[in-house]
Amino acid sequence: MGEFFKSELKDRFLQYALERRDYFEVRVLYDEFLRPNYSLDFAKKLIREIRDYNPSLLDIMSGNGSEIFMLASTPKTEDFLIEGGFLDMHVKEEEKWDTFLNQLSGSRKLSKDEKKLLKKNSPSLKREKNLLSILIAAVVVSFLFTLYSILKNAFLEPQYVPMDEFERKLEQVQSQHRLENEKLTKELEKAKAVIDSLKN
């Protein structure tokens, strides 16, 4: 809930108390102004804020296990409302802040042409453009260098095999060749034996 609305509610509470001219329960304020959207605790909180601001605005009695149970207006309640109440205080505070903020930004606003001219001649903008150009150029050079390296490794340079790996592969091929020769020799001997047995 905004401060403006809270200020208005506090003034309504005080006005209601002024019109009643007798003690009444906090629940009456709750039923009159806040039910069903807010809680009874919220009503008590607003009354505490009124009391904290000026204890003489309301005559508050505790009871029934509650710190704030019954309340009534005082002679100062009417004077406070005549002077404008919480709502007027809130509006004046807002006006002070508006004035303060306007003074902070007191320099006149620039026209569109002035802003464009300022942007064009801004040294920080020129420096940013130069840095951006350098960064883009560095990225392009890096990309081209990477592309050249990849193409060079893939197509232009022959791939060399280390000597020990070459010897190992050569031995593997030779051992496979020997095994195949031995296998073929055994099969050939078997075939000769079969042919010899057929001749006899």
DSSP string computed for the chain: --HHHHHHHHHHHHHHHHHH-S-EEHHHHIIIIITTTS-HHHHHHHHHHHHHH-TTSEEEEEETTEEEEEEEE-HHHHHHHHTTHHHHHHHHHHHHHHHHHHHHT-SPPPPHHHHHHHHHT-HHHHHHHHHHHHHHHHHHHHHHHHHHHHHIIIIISPPP--HHHHHHHHHHHHHHHHHHHHHHHHHHHHHHHHHHHHH-
Residue 73 confidence (pLDDT): 84
Given a cut of 70, the residues of the chain with pLDDT beneath it are 1, 105-111, 114-122, 157-159, 200
Residue 143 confidence (pLDDT): 92
Residue 139 confidence (pLDDT): 93
Question: Whole-structure pTM over 0.75, yes or no?
Answer: no
Residue 171 confidence (pLDDT): 92
Residue 182 confidence (pLDDT): 92
